Structure 1
Amino acid sequence: MNLSDSNITLILSAYGSPGPLSYGFFFVTLVLYLTTVFSNLTLMLVISLDSRLHKPMYIFLFNLAINGLMGSTSVCPTILQYLLEDLSTISFTGCLLQSFFINVYGTCVYAILTAMAYDRYVSICNPLQYHSILTPTKVRLLLGAVYIFPVCSLIVQVYLTSRLPICKYTINKLFCVSLAVVNLACVKTALDSMYALALLFIFGFLPLFLVILSYIKILTVSIKASESAQMKALKTCAPHLITFINFSLATLSSVIYTSFNDYLSNEMSILLSIYFILVPPLLHPLIYGMRTDEIKRSIVNILRRKVFALSFLE
């Protein structure tokens, strides 16, 4: 990055002057953000405290909660601040970092959901070999791949973007996204476009293909099983499938927000951006908390122990 570029100040023009509408969105965003933080921290605490949940699926779920917190925290405090200010500005370096963490959130969540689909596939299609296939070492390797490949790839993307000469200084969005930053450049190189397409294929279409393939195999095995086995498989896969569909819809809303923001009203832009950043991290722990018996039992047991401890102290 050029030294002069690091001192560039960008304007996020999607924000209007503070008023009743801004205050309303501020309140809604604040409530959703605080609820997201609380629900994810609660899920992480439950998984940490209950040794019976120290299994591959819940380890992946723990990391899903971490990524949800990272994604929402990388943007929501900034949105809350700018909703109350007349002029919303951010440095070029800060803009690059914000888009980087948003991309890490999106790619890592998809990677974790892919690992969870593999876990469900092994659990249903190879139940007798489950513990020999998904060993602690293999789980650590999968988690390493979930984080290392996306982070390293996105660091390269940030470096390529930072080298582009900047001619524009206004972004008509609530926060920085990669495409918006690239559109500030005077010229775009073929390398940047090809690299962005490669990232989209590797971290977007490939996980989608692998998850669909896993569920095709699960469906094939379930069809041949008994009715009780089919119901058990459905109950086991339902939370993950709902979570994956929810995040895919959120990603689609992000694509619409990124590509067609200039044609959307400010209200619609805010809703689409908040949906991608807040709704999946908010719903993921709620979905697993309501649909997974082991987590529900763990929450009840923890609450009982705390109530018993308080009664004993009295």
Structure 2
Amino acid sequence: MANIVLNQTFSYELKIARFDIPPSAEYPIFIIGMLIYLFSIVSNLTILLLIATQKSLHKPMFYILFSLPLNDLIGITAMFPRMLIDIVTKENTVYYPTCVLQGFLLHMFGGGTLFVLAAMSFDRYLAICKPLRYHAIMSPLTVAGLLALAWGMDFAIVLVLFLLQARVRRCRSFIYNVYCSNFSLLNLSCGEDITVNNIYGLFVTAYMQIITIGVQLFSYGQILLTCVFNKQSNAKAKALNTCLAQIIVFLIYEFIAMFTILSNRFPDVPANARRAVGILIYCVVPVVNPIIYGMKTKDIRVAFLHVVRKNKSSLT
């Protein structure tokens, strides 16, 4: 009964695992982590501001792309600050509602990345394979609908996942990871039957992968066929420049996700290594995404250089 009351008053304090770090390495790791976090914040905000302020980027492709750095900011902010603070303070406590919020946002980040990349690949399919109908199809209403579908599906899936988790009675107070997730929250249960949770978790994971990978395979497959049968070299260059960044980001995400899953399947992997692998997807992806899009997307490069030159001329 005491646990139930605490849960109802949102004062259920949990202990959370921490990295086994030598004292001499704590502050260097904290500084490196802060630099990574700040770089991700600045670079993703730069992409967001460029899309918002530069008229040359006011196109359907970049309206959809706007969601990607926004999603990256959610993911790395939900993960990094609390973990870095725990490294130096060594408190390693988190209240249950805060833990649920972190887990919810991290799951939203994972699903959001997949759905947004799928929406972007569909946009590129229309632009390259249906160029004459592109602007008629990708109207502001269509773009808004695509974004609402991507974020709406992501939110609904994660919401149900956590509602199923919330119904489970809790009697443990230790999170066996350095961050909160649906799985770690389920481990707080009192040995209850969580078959429904496991089935739903496996189902939505498979559903998201099948839908998003299916959309991207179809889109990029059609783009490849268009390039093969189109003799114009500029069409091939356009396809490469606009799609390569999205394909690289998707492959990095899937590789890290698979690497994380495999590391959890081998009990001989040290706990520190398993925890480090677990946070890769939340720190690597938000860092490399703006770099890749900055390097591989010509319109963003041109807009960025235009802003730099404009600011430089205004100072001289």
- Is the structural similarity TM-score above 0.5? yes
Show the counterpart of 2:292. Answer: 287
Tell which deviates more after alignment, 56-65 or 107-116: 56-65
Show the counterpart of 1:181. Answer: 185
Measured at CA, do residues 247 and 124 of structure 1 come closer, stay the same or move farther in structure 2, by a change above 3 Å? same
Show the counterpart of 1:4. Answer: 6
Percent sequence identity over aligned pairs: 27
Indicate yes or no: 2:242 matched with 1:244: no
Partner Cα separation in structure 1 for residue 18 and residue 213 of structure 2: 31
Q: Deviations over 1:229-280 (max 9, x none)?
A: 22331222111111111122232244346x3486433442343233211111
> Could you tell me how far 1:36 is from its partner in structure 2?
0.2
Show the counterpart of 1:308. Answer: 313
| 1:11 match: secondary structure | strand
Q: Report the residue type matching 1:272 in the other structure.
A: V
Q: How does 1:50-89 map to 2 (within 5 A)?
A: 50-89=54-93
> Could you tell me how far 1:3 is from its partner in structure 2?
3.2
> Could you tell me how far 1:23 is from its partner in structure 2?
2.8
| 1:30 match: secondary structure | helix
Measured at CA, do residues 92 and 188 of structure 1 come closer, stay the same or move farther in structure 2, by a change above 3 Å? farther
Measured at CA, do residues 108 and 54 of structure 1 come closer, stay the same or move farther in structure 2, by a change above 3 Å? same
Indicate yes or no: 2:41 matched with 1:37: yes
Show the counterpart of 1:145. Answer: 149
> Could you tell me how far 1:180 is from its partner in structure 2?
1.7
Indicate yes or no: 2:20 matched with 1:20: no
Counterpart contact for 2:241–2:298, Cα < 8 Å: no
Measured at CA, do residues 218 and 56 of structure 1 come closer, stay the same or move farther in structure 2, by a change above 3 Å? same
Counterpart contact for 1:104–1:150, Cα < 8 Å: yes
> Could you tell me how far 1:124 is from its partner in structure 2?
1.2
Structure 2 stretches of 5 or more lacking a match? none
Q: Deviations over 1:202-226 (max 9, x none)?
A: 3233212221222122222221111
Indicate yes or no: 2:240 matched with 1:234: yes
Counterpart contact for 1:17–1:86, Cα < 8 Å: no
Counterpart contact for 1:172–1:262, Cα < 8 Å: no
Q: How does 1:66-145 map to 2 (within 5 A)?
A: 66-145=70-149
Partner Cα separation in structure 1 for residue 267 and residue 99 of structure 2: 19
| 1:75 match: secondary structure | helix
Q: Deviations over 1:175-218 (max 9, x none)?
A: 01111211221213332122212221232332122212221222
| 1:14 match: secondary structure | coil
| 2:89 match: secondary structure | coil
Q: Deviations over 1:100-159 (max 9, x none)?
A: 000011111111000001011111111111101111100001111111221122122212
Show the counterpart of 1:222. Answer: 227
Partner Cα separation in structure 1 for residue 123 and residue 4 of structure 2: 45
Q: Report the residue type matching 1:43 in the other structure.
A: I
Partner Cα separation in structure 1 for residue 17 and residue 104 of structure 2: 20
Partner Cα separation in structure 2 for residue 216 and residue 33 of structure 1: 36
Partner Cα separation in structure 1 for residue 84 and residue 47 of structure 2: 25
Structure 1 stretches of 5 or more lacking a match? none
Counterpart contact for 2:18–2:86, Cα < 8 Å: no
Counterpart contact for 1:103–1:154, Cα < 8 Å: yes
| 1:231 match: secondary structure | helix
Show the counterpart of 1:278. Answer: 283
| 1:250 match: secondary structure | helix
Q: CA RMSD in A?
A: 2.0
Counterpart contact for 1:2–1:163, Cα < 8 Å: no
Q: Report the residue type matching 1:177 in the other structure.
A: S
Aligned length: 310
| 2:133 match: secondary structure | helix
Counterpart contact for 1:71–1:277, Cα < 8 Å: yes
Measured at CA, do residues 18 and 165 of structure 1 come closer, stay the same or move farther in structure 2, by a change above 3 Å? farther
Counterpart contact for 1:18–1:85, Cα < 8 Å: no
Partner Cα separation in structure 1 for residue 272 and residue 262 of structure 2: 14
Structure 2 length as normaliser, TM-score?
Answer: 0.91
Q: Report the residue type matching 2:296 in the other structure.
A: R
Q: Report the residue type matching 1:246 in the other structure.
A: I
Measured at CA, do residues 2 and 167 of structure 1 come closer, stay the same or move farther in structure 2, by a change above 3 Å? closer
Tell which deviates more after alignment, 135-144 or 301-310: 301-310
Measured at CA, do residues 271 and 190 of structure 1 come closer, stay the same or move farther in structure 2, by a change above 3 Å? closer
